[in-house]
Structure 1
Amino acid sequence: MPYFVYKITPPFKQLEKIDSFPNFKEASTFAKSVRSGMTETDNYTVKVIFAENELQAEDVFNQVREPEPMTGDDY
């Protein structure tokens, strides 16, 4: 399964696949190089995701995740 690198633009989580790689190291290095070229006015994030295909990757990005419980919140 490949690693996909996506640019995510708020406010509606507009997804744009930048590239894909066969292993994490290459994907991570590429994502870091894209992030280092960003300026303060760029209004997007760059993320790496492991998925079978683009459809699954975009589905995972669009899922609403439940927030982690706060420490000490278990009275």
Structure 2
Amino acid sequence: MPYYIYRVSTGPVKILEKITEFDAFKDASAEAKRMRKEVDLAKMKIKVVFGENEIQAEEALMSVREAEPLTGDDW
């Protein structure tokens, strides 16, 4: 399964733009790091996401993660 690189807007509505895809994480990660140096990260983010296809990758980017549970000294 491929690794996709997306440009994600940081505004109130996420706008996803697929940039490219790679077969290996190492290559995708290196390209994403290079791209992050070239863009204004206050306006957009560069994300690497793993997925069976583009739809699955975009669903992963759009999903809201639950907060980690508070335990012990954290609360």
Question: Normalized against structure 2, the TM-score is what?
Answer: 0.86
The 1:73–1:67 alpha-carbon spacing in structure 2 relative to 1, beyond 3 Å, is farther
User: Is there any run of 5+ residues in structure 2 with no aligned partner, and where?
Assistant: none
- Percent identity over the alignment is 47
Which residue of structure 1 aligns with residue 29 of structure 2? 28
Using the alignment, how far apart are the partners of 1:28 and 1:64 within structure 2?
Answer: 22
Aligned to 2:43: 43
Amino acid at match of 2:70: M
3-state SS, counterpart of residue 36 of structure 2:
helix
Over 2 Å off, 4+ runs: 70-75
TM-score by length of 1: 0.86
Where does structure 1 lack aligned partners over 5 or more consecutive residues? none
The answer to whether 1:62 aligns with 2:58 is: no
Question: What RMSD in Å do the two structures reach over aligned CA positions?
Answer: 2.0
| Whole-angstrom CA distance in 1 between matches of 2:14 and 2:40 | 19
**Structure 1 Cα separation of the partners of residues 59 and 40 of structure 2:** 28
Whole-angstrom distance in 2 between the partners of 1:70 and 1:32: 32
